[in-house]
A = this chain, B = another copy of it.
């Protein structure tokens, strides 16, 4: 029996606004509501929580109680370093006062991680970057990107920090744009407790092969977390995993197992117009198909095909394993 654990960002079970549907895609939900809904997904074990908690003024204890009731534990805390205060950047904000606020917010988030015994602080610096040609001094922006996270890692050596890179949105260019750029930055920080949270969709969106990105992060000892979803390769659509690119998602999981990477398989989906429980169930059912496919796969034959760069044999093996 599989011991694979599945997780999800708690925002999977929230409702959303965007720049057009400013009244939201559904009734607002609090984090307590979202946890209750998450609890109804089959096979979900862990969640990543935005912090400060949304939809009300909830204590850690209240959230803990809701999680216990739902049978969920916490894998990570995501401090909201991308809201109005940080609209011109958190770590790279031109205003040192705002950079200090970002530092302070994440520092407080560290205590939330400790409270819940979570695995990491997740940093998604979506407002850190630039929009226009000539807008910024690129050296300064990149230095701030590195220093801001490096300082937090140094001050909290008991915790792990994960950076979730993405090419863009809401910024037109994000500083932590891709796997290699993020690894370059992490190496510069020189801290052992900073790694990557690799989002499959962000890799696709950035023109990467997610399997290659995972291998690179693993080879640098920096793959600390992952999540999956799907998109049309041109935007972070956060669609249900497996609905568009099943083969590449299977290759991503193949790479994880090949390297004996044994973390949680998480979902980062935004079901704007769909039922969030069904969206999670559909994705997890596909993830289980991937697991079964990896059990079925002829690993020796695959290794041999890959050693010869034999695309057709490798594809045939992959299809046979995945489709069963």
Give how many A residues have a beta carbon under 8 Å from the other chain's beta carbons.
102
Interface centre among A19, A84, A139, A310 (most CB of B within 10 A): A19
Across the interface, A315 reaches (CB within 8 A) one of B25, B243, B308, namely B243
Interface contact B211-A242, CB-CB below 8 Å: no
Interface contact A173-B138, CB-CB below 8 Å: no
Interface assignment of A7: CB less than 8 Å from any CB of chain B: no
Interface contact A167-B207, CB-CB below 8 Å: yes
Q: Which residue of B lies closest to A286 (CB)?
A: B319
- In the complex, A211 Cα to B169 Cα: how many Å? 20
For A17, what are the chain B residues with a Cβ–Cβ distance below 8 Å?
17-19, 22
Q: Quick one: given A16-B19, A209-B138, are A273 and B133 in contact (CB under 8 Å)?
A: no
What are 14 A-B contacts with C-beta separation under 8 Å? Answer: A17-B17, A21-B82, A21-B87, A23-B84, A94-B309, A132-B239, A133-B211, A133-B243, A134-B302, A138-B215, A177-B208, A244-B245, A244-B247, A278-B312
Q: Quick one: given A247-B244, A247-B246, A324-B324, are A309 and B142 in contact (CB under 8 Å)?
A: no
Closest A-B pairs by Cβ, 3 of them: A180-B181, A180-B180, A132-B311
Interface contact A24-B84, CB-CB below 8 Å: yes
Per-position binary interface string of chain A over residues 220-250, scored 1 when its CB falls under 8 Å from any chain B CB and 0 otherwise: 0000000000001111010110111111101
Q: Quick one: given A170-B272, A178-B178, A239-B172, are A132 and B314 in contact (CB under 8 Å)?
A: yes
For A308, what are the chain B residues with a Cβ–Cβ distance below 8 Å?
94
Smallest CB–CB gap between A313 and chain B, Å?
A: 8
Interface residues of A in 293-315 (CB under 8 A from B): 302-303, 305-312, 314-315
Q: Quick one: given A207-B167, A316-B282, are A84 and B172 in contact (CB under 8 Å)?
A: no
- In the complex, A26 Cα to B317 Cα: how many Å? 26
For A287, what are the chain B residues with a Cβ–Cβ distance below 8 Å?
none
Smallest CB–CB gap between A56 and chain B, Å?
A: 14
Q: Quick one: given A233-B234, A319-B242, A323-B323, are A254 and B84 in contact (CB under 8 Å)?
A: no
Q: Which residue of B lies closest to A281 (CB)?
A: B312
Smallest CB–CB gap between A304 and chain B, Å?
A: 11
Smallest CB–CB gap between A132 and chain B, Å?
A: 4
Interface assignment of A131: CB less than 8 Å from any CB of chain B: yes
For A88, what are the chain B residues with a Cβ–Cβ distance below 8 Å?
273, 309
Interface residues of A in 178-197 (CB under 8 A from B): 178, 180-181, 183-184, 187
For A302, what are the chain B residues with a Cβ–Cβ distance below 8 Å?
134
Per-position binary interface string of chain A over residues 129-150, scored 1 when its CB falls under 8 Å from any chain B CB and 0 otherwise: 0111111111110100000000
- In the complex, A286 Cα to B27 Cα: how many Å? 43
Across the interface, A274 reaches (CB within 8 A) one of B169, B311, B319, namely B311
